[in-house]
Amino acid sequence: MNNSRTFGALGVTVLAWLLGMSSPPAVASDTGRLAAMTAAREMRVCVWPDYYGISHRNRKTLELEGIDVDLARELGKDLGLPVKFVDSSFATLINDVTAERCDIAMFAIGITPARADKLRFTSPQK
C-alpha cells in the first residue's frame, strides 16, 4: 500500500473520531467538531511529546516527530487546516479532550473502560 493511500484511510478513521462518530459512514451526519475547527481555522491535536516513535519532541530541534505527528499533519492538509499540537499525557487525556483543549488526540491511545466512558474512539478500517 502506498503512503498517500495509507494516510487517506487513516485520515478517514481519525476524521470519524474527530466528528464524534464510531465509524466513517456516519461522518457526513455530524459536522459539529469539523465546523468548530473550520471556524477557528486550526485543528488542535493533543499528543504526548515523550512517546518515542509515536510522537516525541526532538531534544536537539525541539520539533515534534513521529508517526502520529505525521498523520496529524496529513489530516490537517486533507482538511485544509493548520495543525496546532497541544502537549498532553495519558493522565490528562480525558480532561484535555472533554475540556476542549484539543479537537482530537493522537498518541496510540489504548481503549480502557474509563476512557471509553468519556471519549469516542475510531474503529480500524478493514
32 pLDDT more than 70: yes
pLDDT for the residue 3: 43
Q: Which residues pair with 56 in a beta bridge?
A: 50, 65
- Do the Cβ atoms of 103 and 18 come closer than 8 Å? yes
φ, ψ (nearest 5 deg) of residue 65: -140, 165
Angle between helices 32-40 and 67-79 (to 10 degrees): 90
Domains (range + CATH), the chain: 36-118 (3.40.190.10)
pLDDT digits (tens, 9 = 90+) for 39-95: 999 999 999 999 888 999 999 999 999 999 999 999 999 999 999 999 999 999 999
pTM: 0.72
Sequence-distant (≥ 6) Cβ neighbours of residue 13 within 8 angstroms: 24, 122, 123, 124, 125
pLDDT digits (tens, 9 = 90+) for 3-22: 444 444 444 344 444 444 33
pLDDT for the residue 2: 41
